[in-house]
Structure 1
Protein backbone atom coordinates (compact mmCIF):
# COMPACT_ATOMS: atom_id res chain seq x y z
CA UNK A 1 0.00 0.00 0.00
CA UNK A 2 1.35 3.38 -0.95
CA UNK A 3 0.23 6.82 0.10
CA UNK A 4 1.12 10.34 -0.91
CA UNK A 5 0.13 12.64 1.94
CA UNK A 6 -0.09 16.33 1.17
CA UNK A 7 -0.64 18.94 3.85
CA UNK A 8 -3.28 21.28 2.44
CA UNK A 9 -5.21 24.38 3.36
CA UNK A 10 -7.96 23.19 1.02
CA UNK A 11 -8.66 20.31 -1.34
CA UNK A 12 -11.61 18.99 -3.29
CA UNK A 13 -12.56 16.19 -5.66
CA UNK A 14 -14.96 16.62 -8.55
CA UNK A 15 -16.52 13.87 -10.67
CA UNK A 16 -18.82 14.78 -13.58
CA UNK A 17 -18.98 18.40 -12.40
CA UNK A 18 -20.15 17.31 -8.91
CA UNK A 19 -18.00 17.79 -5.82
CA UNK A 20 -17.68 14.41 -4.07
CA UNK A 21 -15.52 15.63 -1.21
CA UNK A 22 -13.96 18.86 0.00
CA UNK A 23 -11.87 19.86 3.00
CA UNK A 24 -9.98 22.72 4.56
CA UNK A 25 -6.84 22.35 6.71
CA UNK A 26 -5.72 18.77 6.67
CA UNK A 27 -4.45 16.06 4.35
CA UNK A 28 -5.11 15.12 0.79
CA UNK A 29 -4.19 11.42 0.78
CA UNK A 30 -3.66 9.62 -2.52
CA UNK A 31 -3.89 5.88 -1.78
CA UNK A 32 -2.66 3.03 -3.94
CA UNK A 33 -3.45 -0.60 -3.12
CA UNK A 34 -1.80 -3.76 -4.44
CA UNK A 35 -3.20 -7.28 -4.21
CA UNK A 36 -0.66 -8.35 -1.56
CA UNK A 37 -1.78 -5.65 0.89
CA UNK A 38 -3.21 -6.85 4.19
CA UNK A 39 -5.35 -5.50 7.00
CA UNK A 40 -2.14 -5.05 8.98
CA UNK A 41 -0.69 -2.87 6.20
CA UNK A 42 -3.83 -0.76 6.24
CA UNK A 43 -3.80 -0.37 10.02
CA UNK A 44 -0.10 0.54 10.08
CA UNK A 45 -0.54 3.16 7.36
CA UNK A 46 -3.78 4.56 8.81
CA UNK A 47 -2.15 5.02 12.22
CA UNK A 48 0.91 6.65 10.66
CA UNK A 49 -1.30 9.09 8.75
CA UNK A 50 -3.38 9.95 11.82
CA UNK A 51 -0.31 10.52 14.00
CA UNK A 52 2.06 12.12 11.49
CA UNK A 53 3.31 15.33 13.12
CA UNK A 54 3.66 17.74 10.21
CA UNK A 55 1.55 20.67 11.38
CA UNK A 56 3.19 23.67 13.03
CA UNK A 57 3.09 24.28 16.74
CA UNK A 58 3.20 27.72 18.38
CA UNK A 59 6.97 27.89 17.68
CA UNK A 60 6.58 27.12 13.98
CA UNK A 61 7.97 23.58 14.36
CA UNK A 62 6.26 20.56 12.81
CA UNK A 63 5.09 19.00 16.08
CA UNK A 64 1.32 18.62 15.69
CA UNK A 65 -0.68 15.80 14.13
CA UNK A 66 -3.88 16.10 12.16
CA UNK A 67 -5.68 14.96 15.30
CA UNK A 68 -4.04 17.75 17.34
CA UNK A 69 -5.31 20.45 14.98
CA UNK A 70 -8.75 18.89 14.36
CA UNK A 71 -7.89 18.61 10.67
CA UNK A 72 -9.68 16.84 7.86
CA UNK A 73 -8.79 14.22 5.27
CA UNK A 74 -9.74 13.90 1.61
CA UNK A 75 -8.93 10.30 0.59
CA UNK A 76 -8.50 9.53 -3.12
CA UNK A 77 -7.88 6.10 -4.63
CA UNK A 78 -4.98 6.20 -7.08
CA UNK A 79 -3.81 3.01 -8.77
CA UNK A 80 -1.19 4.95 -10.72
CA UNK A 81 0.98 5.06 -7.58
CA UNK A 82 2.03 1.55 -8.65
CA UNK A 83 3.13 2.58 -12.15
CA UNK A 84 6.17 0.71 -13.41
CA UNK A 85 8.24 2.71 -15.87
CA UNK A 86 11.41 0.62 -16.10
CA UNK A 87 10.68 -0.75 -19.57
CA UNK A 88 9.64 1.59 -22.36
CA UNK A 89 7.74 4.83 -21.97
CA UNK A 90 4.22 3.57 -21.38
CA UNK A 91 3.64 2.84 -17.68
CA UNK A 92 2.50 -0.61 -16.62
CA UNK A 93 0.02 -0.89 -13.79
CA UNK A 94 0.25 -4.65 -13.33
CA UNK A 95 1.18 -4.25 -9.64
CA UNK A 96 -1.91 -2.17 -8.86
CA UNK A 97 -4.58 -4.07 -6.95
CA UNK A 98 -7.54 -5.46 -8.83
CA UNK A 99 -10.74 -3.51 -8.13
CA UNK A 100 -12.28 -6.39 -6.15
CA UNK A 101 -9.34 -6.14 -3.70
CA UNK A 102 -8.50 -2.45 -3.90
CA UNK A 103 -11.99 -0.97 -3.48
CA UNK A 104 -12.74 -2.70 -0.13
CA UNK A 105 -9.26 -1.73 1.13
CA UNK A 106 -9.91 1.90 0.13
CA UNK A 107 -13.31 1.85 1.86
CA UNK A 108 -11.82 0.22 4.96
CA UNK A 109 -9.05 2.82 5.08
CA UNK A 110 -11.69 5.56 4.94
CA UNK A 111 -13.50 3.96 7.89
CA UNK A 112 -10.28 3.51 9.87
CA UNK A 113 -9.22 7.13 9.33
CA UNK A 114 -12.73 8.33 10.22
CA UNK A 115 -12.60 6.32 13.45
CA UNK A 116 -9.11 7.62 14.31
CA UNK A 117 -10.06 11.25 13.63
CA UNK A 118 -13.56 11.03 15.10
CA UNK A 119 -15.03 12.62 11.99
CA UNK A 120 -16.05 11.69 8.48
CA UNK A 121 -13.30 11.41 5.89
CA UNK A 122 -14.15 13.02 2.56
CA UNK A 123 -13.81 10.79 -0.50
CA UNK A 124 -13.40 10.63 -4.21
CA UNK A 125 -15.18 7.91 -6.21
CA UNK A 126 -13.23 4.70 -6.67
CA UNK A 127 -12.40 4.10 -10.33
CA UNK A 128 -13.87 7.39 -11.53
CA UNK A 129 -12.19 10.07 -13.62
CA UNK A 130 -11.60 12.54 -10.80
CA UNK A 131 -10.45 16.14 -10.90
CA UNK A 132 -8.52 17.12 -7.77
CA UNK A 133 -7.97 20.72 -6.71
CA UNK A 134 -5.67 21.50 -3.81
CA UNK A 135 -3.64 24.17 -2.16
CA UNK A 136 -0.54 22.42 -0.84
CA UNK A 137 0.58 24.02 2.42
CA UNK A 138 4.32 24.46 2.74
CA UNK A 139 4.54 22.62 0.43
CA UNK A 140 4.64 19.51 2.58
CA UNK A 141 4.35 16.14 0.84
CA UNK A 142 5.17 12.79 2.46
CA UNK A 143 5.30 9.43 0.65
CA UNK A 144 4.79 6.14 2.52
CA UNK A 145 5.02 2.53 1.41
CA UNK A 146 3.94 -0.34 3.67
CA UNK A 147 6.34 -2.69 1.90
CA UNK A 148 9.26 -0.49 3.05
CA UNK A 149 8.27 0.29 6.66
CA UNK A 150 11.87 0.52 7.85
CA UNK A 151 12.36 3.67 5.81
CA UNK A 152 9.08 5.31 6.80
Structure 2
Protein backbone atom coordinates (compact mmCIF):
# COMPACT_ATOMS: atom_id res chain seq x y z
CA UNK A 1 0.00 0.00 0.00
CA UNK A 2 1.49 3.31 -0.98
CA UNK A 3 1.11 6.42 1.25
CA UNK A 4 -1.64 7.92 -0.92
CA UNK A 5 -3.84 4.86 -0.28
CA UNK A 6 -3.56 5.03 3.54
CA UNK A 7 -6.79 5.15 5.50
CA UNK A 8 -7.71 8.61 6.72
CA UNK A 9 -7.12 7.87 10.41
CA UNK A 10 -3.49 6.89 9.69
CA UNK A 11 -2.71 10.05 7.79
CA UNK A 12 -3.69 12.44 10.59
CA UNK A 13 -0.87 13.86 12.66
CA UNK A 14 -1.14 13.28 16.42
CA UNK A 15 -0.80 16.52 18.44
CA UNK A 16 2.25 16.73 20.71
CA UNK A 17 -0.03 17.59 23.64
CA UNK A 18 -1.96 14.36 23.14
CA UNK A 19 1.25 12.32 23.18
CA UNK A 20 2.49 14.03 26.35
CA UNK A 21 -0.87 13.58 28.07
CA UNK A 22 -0.91 9.94 27.01
CA UNK A 23 2.54 9.55 28.59
CA UNK A 24 1.24 11.08 31.83
CA UNK A 25 -1.75 8.71 31.72
CA UNK A 26 0.55 5.74 31.15
CA UNK A 27 2.69 6.67 34.18
CA UNK A 28 -0.43 7.18 36.33
CA UNK A 29 -1.81 3.81 35.20
CA UNK A 30 1.42 1.93 35.91
CA UNK A 31 1.71 3.69 39.29
CA UNK A 32 -1.86 2.79 40.19
CA UNK A 33 -1.38 -0.83 39.18
CA UNK A 34 1.93 -0.95 41.06
CA UNK A 35 0.29 0.45 44.17
CA UNK A 36 -2.47 -2.13 43.96
CA UNK A 37 0.13 -4.86 43.39
CA UNK A 38 2.08 -3.85 46.50
CA UNK A 39 -1.08 -3.76 48.59
CA UNK A 40 -3.06 -6.71 47.29
CA UNK A 41 -0.43 -9.15 46.02
CA UNK A 42 2.63 -8.36 48.15
CA UNK A 43 0.41 -7.63 51.22
CA UNK A 44 2.18 -4.37 52.10
CA UNK A 45 -0.20 -2.42 54.30
CA UNK A 46 -0.18 1.23 53.20
CA UNK A 47 0.43 3.91 55.82
CA UNK A 48 -1.66 7.08 56.08
CA UNK A 49 0.62 9.06 53.75
CA UNK A 50 0.52 6.24 51.22
CA UNK A 51 -3.28 6.40 51.28
CA UNK A 52 -3.21 10.15 50.67
CA UNK A 53 -0.83 9.66 47.74
CA UNK A 54 -3.18 7.01 46.35
CA UNK A 55 -6.05 9.50 46.66
CA UNK A 56 -4.06 11.85 44.42
CA UNK A 57 -2.85 9.19 41.95
CA UNK A 58 -5.90 6.98 41.32
CA UNK A 59 -8.17 9.74 39.90
CA UNK A 60 -5.40 10.82 37.50
CA UNK A 61 -5.98 7.64 35.51
CA UNK A 62 -9.58 8.65 34.81
CA UNK A 63 -9.03 12.41 34.49
CA UNK A 64 -6.19 12.03 31.99
CA UNK A 65 -7.97 9.45 29.82
CA UNK A 66 -11.05 11.68 29.76
CA UNK A 67 -8.88 14.47 28.36
CA UNK A 68 -7.48 12.22 25.63
CA UNK A 69 -10.65 11.17 23.80
CA UNK A 70 -11.19 13.70 22.28
CA UNK A 71 -8.04 15.55 23.24
CA UNK A 72 -8.77 18.54 25.43
CA UNK A 73 -5.90 20.85 26.36
CA UNK A 74 -7.80 21.87 29.50
CA UNK A 75 -7.14 18.46 31.08
CA UNK A 76 -3.99 20.04 32.51
CA UNK A 77 -6.16 22.30 34.70
CA UNK A 78 -7.73 19.29 36.37
CA UNK A 79 -4.80 16.90 36.50
CA UNK A 80 -1.96 19.20 37.53
CA UNK A 81 -3.38 20.06 40.99
CA UNK A 82 -3.73 16.34 41.76
CA UNK A 83 -0.17 15.70 40.59
CA UNK A 84 1.15 18.64 42.62
CA UNK A 85 -0.67 17.54 45.78
CA UNK A 86 0.57 13.97 45.37
CA UNK A 87 4.10 15.21 44.71
CA UNK A 88 4.07 17.28 47.90
CA UNK A 89 2.79 14.36 49.96
CA UNK A 90 5.33 11.98 48.42
CA UNK A 91 8.17 14.43 49.04
CA UNK A 92 7.07 14.84 52.67
CA UNK A 93 6.92 11.05 53.00
CA UNK A 94 10.43 10.73 51.58
CA UNK A 95 11.70 13.40 54.01
CA UNK A 96 10.00 11.55 56.87
CA UNK A 97 11.79 8.31 55.95
CA UNK A 98 15.10 10.15 55.64
CA UNK A 99 14.66 11.53 59.16
CA UNK A 100 14.49 15.17 58.08
CA UNK A 101 11.05 15.69 59.65
CA UNK A 102 10.96 16.16 63.44
CA UNK A 103 9.37 13.39 65.51
CA UNK A 104 6.67 15.75 66.82
CA UNK A 105 4.94 16.28 63.45
CA UNK A 106 4.84 12.70 62.19
CA UNK A 107 1.34 12.13 60.79
CA UNK A 108 1.02 8.37 61.30
CA UNK A 109 -0.13 7.87 64.86
CA UNK A 110 -2.07 4.64 64.31
CA UNK A 111 -1.54 1.63 62.09
CA UNK A 112 1.58 1.29 59.97
CA UNK A 113 4.22 3.92 60.86
CA UNK A 114 4.94 6.23 57.93
CA UNK A 115 8.65 6.11 58.68
CA UNK A 116 8.83 2.33 58.14
CA UNK A 117 10.46 1.21 54.91
CA UNK A 118 8.75 -1.90 53.61
CA UNK A 119 10.88 -2.46 50.52
CA UNK A 120 14.21 -1.18 49.18
CA UNK A 121 15.59 -1.91 45.73
CA UNK A 122 19.14 -1.10 44.57
CA UNK A 123 19.88 0.31 48.02
CA UNK A 124 17.90 3.55 47.59
CA UNK A 125 14.63 2.97 45.70
CA UNK A 126 11.70 2.89 48.11
CA UNK A 127 7.96 3.07 47.49
CA UNK A 128 7.81 6.81 48.42
CA UNK A 129 10.76 7.42 46.07
CA UNK A 130 8.83 5.75 43.25
CA UNK A 131 5.86 7.96 44.12
CA UNK A 132 7.97 11.14 43.95
CA UNK A 133 9.36 10.07 40.57
CA UNK A 134 5.89 9.24 39.20
CA UNK A 135 4.27 12.47 40.34
CA UNK A 136 7.29 14.47 39.10
CA UNK A 137 7.14 12.92 35.64
CA UNK A 138 3.38 13.41 35.41
CA UNK A 139 3.69 17.08 36.47
CA UNK A 140 6.51 17.75 33.98
CA UNK A 141 4.57 16.13 31.13
CA UNK A 142 1.48 18.16 32.00
CA UNK A 143 3.45 21.41 32.23
CA UNK A 144 5.07 20.75 28.84
CA UNK A 145 1.60 19.95 27.44
CA UNK A 146 0.39 23.32 28.71
CA UNK A 147 3.40 25.19 27.33
CA UNK A 148 3.16 23.48 23.92
CA UNK A 149 -0.54 24.25 23.72
CA UNK A 150 -0.22 27.92 24.65
CA UNK A 151 2.01 28.67 21.65
Same fold (TM over 0.5): no
Name whichever structure is richer in strand by fraction.
1
Which structure has the greater CA radius of gyration? Answer: 2
User: What TM-score does the superposition give when structure 2 sets the normalisation length?
Assistant: 0.27
User: What TM-score does the superposition give when structure 1 sets the normalisation length?
Assistant: 0.27
